[in-house]
Structure 1
Amino acid sequence: MKLHIESFTFNPFQENTYVVYTDTKDAVIVDPGCYTREEKQHLIDFITDNQLTIHAILNTHCHIDHVLGNSFLMQEYRVDLYAHPLDLPTLEMVPYAAKMYGFEGYETSPLPTQLLADEQTLQFGGIVLNVLVGPGHAPGHVAFYNAENGIILSGDILFRGSFGRYDLPGGDLETLKKTLKEVMFQLPAETIVYSGHGIETTIGEEKKFNPIWNY
């Protein structure tokens, strides 16, 4: 089934939040980074205007910029929150990060109600996503892949012409390189990458030009 992806850039970290949806109005929200009232309303308006049914909230990982909207959206839509168990310690540290970065209005994210596993297949109506575990930026980082549409939501593993930080708690350069080589770069070259920051790219472009191999 054809998947549509709407991107929103939220919060001071310029994080990409995605709504993945079908023509039959099934939808999931990936990495809700909405923080201000205006950002939350912007996201809600898109969902309402397009008459979408939200089935789940998915976190690629649990750094602060990707979970700022978890609590708000769980209350708004009463759906499950999905994350990998190895990123639960990261999620539990977010309130401390919020204080450090000045997010005084941060609503503490609930713990995930569903835990993700490698190569798990998620289905929400017509939306089918395969879970690919990819540590290196965060211990429990995952990406969501749909082969039929040739798309992957990579979180902060891979960016256009760049890659995720590895100097944060739980990060590791060699692990990240292994993830890129053995997971991301095994996908078809034409796969479109929707990253946690910046504009989209393709696997083929990043295999050729990404500077990760210079490190």
Structure 2
Amino acid sequence: MKIACLQFNPIQENTYVVWDDTAQCAVIDAGNSNERENAALRNFFEEHGLRPAVAVNTHGHFDHTLGVEWLRTTYGIPFALSGKDRFLLENASVSGQIFGVKIGAMPAAPDIDLDTVPEIHFGDTALQVIATPGHTPGHVSLYEPQSKSLFTGDTLFRESIGRTDLPGGDYSWIMRSILEKILPLGDEVRIYPGHGPESTIGHETIYNPFVVEVLGGEVNCKN
């Protein structure tokens, strides 16, 4: 599986294009927000001979969904998101105003509810859907075991974690997601977060202060 990261919109969100030898691709967290960014994504597809098959989201915050409707209408592909995050699509315009970001067309609801499927398929590739709530109620991470690639959205960043002070966020949930769902995948797994640079699970167990303080017993994330 091949992975490319394109950074979009004023929030500097990471949009990932992932593809295999079939030339079918999935777009993870499409954050393209204007015609220039739409063109950049379209040109990437064309330059690499790719055929979009699905737009799949780790969660429903507006900076990760700004380009979804453009993908759906331009390429006729389905949109996959946890149904628990549908309320974030409905409130996207209000959230965008708070951050000073203009919000265009948004899908009314996902075509595929990630709460109901174990995997998302494109070409010969399957992305495992792992529920990792905390940043949002319906947040998921997407894992491709052969390449040991994990798309963590806004759950786990390089040496940080996602915010839990936004509507639907919960610190105990996000830390349990990291400790119980992400860390057991193994130190060698490479993480691709929704913002910022790549990392590995091994790096985070040593250098991520939020993870270290819980592993070391300094903070009890379950209370």
Aligned with residue 175 of structure 2, among 174, 177, 194: 177
Hey, what's the Cα distance between the residues in 2 that align with 1:101 and 1:127? 36
In the TM superposition, what is the alpha-carbon distance from 1:119 to its structure 2 partner? 7.2
In 2, Cα distance between the equivalents of 1:173 and 1:193?
Answer: 20
Q: 1:102-117, aligned counterparts within 5 Å?
A: 102-104=100-102, 106-117=104-115
**In 2: Cα distance, 1:122 partner to 1:15 partner:** 22
> 8 Å contact 1:118–1:133 — kept in the other structure?
no
Matched residue, 1:27: 25
Mapped pair 1:89 → 2:79: no
Contact map agreement 1:118 1:132 (CA 8 A) in 2: no
Residue identity opposite 2:62 in structure 1: I
Residue in 2 aligned with 1:58? 56
Question: Is the 2:10–2:101 contact (alpha carbons within 8 Å) kept by the matching residues of 1?
Answer: no
**Alignment deviations for residues 34-71 of structure 1 (CA, whole Å, 9 cap, x no partner):** 11211111011000111111110001001011001011
Q: Given that residues 166 and 172 in structure 1 are in contact (C-alpha distance below 8 angstroms), is that contact kept between their aligned partners in structure 2?
A: yes
Change (3 A) 1:133 1:105: closer
Q: Which amino acid aligns with 2:97?
A: K
Give me the TM-score of the superposition, normalised by structure 1: 0.95
Structure 2 counterpart of 1:21, which letter? Answer: W
| Residue in 2 that maps onto 1:13 | 11
Any stretches of 5+ residues in structure 2 without a counterpart?
A: 214-218
On the 8 A contact 2:92/2:103 being kept in 1, the answer is no
Mapped to 2, the partners of 1:104 and 1:187 lie a distance apart of: 38
Distance apart, 1:140 and its partner CA: 0.3
Alignment of 1:194-213 (within 5 A): 194-213=192-211
Question: What SS class does the counterpart of residue 189 from structure 1 fall into?
Answer: coil
SS in 2 for 1:182: helix
CA RMSD between the two structures: 1.4
CA distance in 1, matches of 2:116, 2:80: 13
Q: Distance in 1 between matches of 2:116 and 2:176?
A: 15
Q: Kindly state the Cα deviation for residue 118 of structure 1 after the two structures are TM-superposed.
A: 7.2
Cα distance in 1 for partners of 2:157, 2:167 equals 20
* Larger mean Cα displacement after TM superposition, 105-114 or 142-151: 105-114
Alpha-carbon offset, residue 105 of structure 1:
5.2
Q: Is the 8 A contact 1:85 1:116 kept in 2?
A: yes
Paired-residue identity, %: 35
The answer to whether the 8 A contact 1:119-1:132 is kept is: no
Q: Secondary structure at the match of 1:132?
A: strand
Give the structure-2-normalised TM-score: 0.91
- Work out the CA distance in 2 between the residues paired with 1:132 and 1:120: 8
Letter matched to residue 79 of structure 1: I
Please name the residue that 2:160 is paired with. Answer: 162
Deviating beyond 6 angstroms after TM superposition, the runs of 4 or more aligned structure 1 residues are: none
* Contact map agreement 1:27 1:127 (CA 8 A) in 2: no
In structure 1, stretches of 5+ residues that fail to align are none
Count residues with an aligned counterpart: 213
Kept in 2: contact 1:20–1:28 (CA 8 A)? yes
Alignment check: 8 A CA contact 1:133 1:140 kept:
yes
> Aligned partners of 2:17 and 2:102: how far apart in 1?
26
- In the aligned structure 2, how far is the partner of 1:205 from the partner of 1:118? 32
Please report how far the alpha carbon of residue 212 of structure 1 lies from its aligned counterpart in structure 2 after TM superposition: 1.0
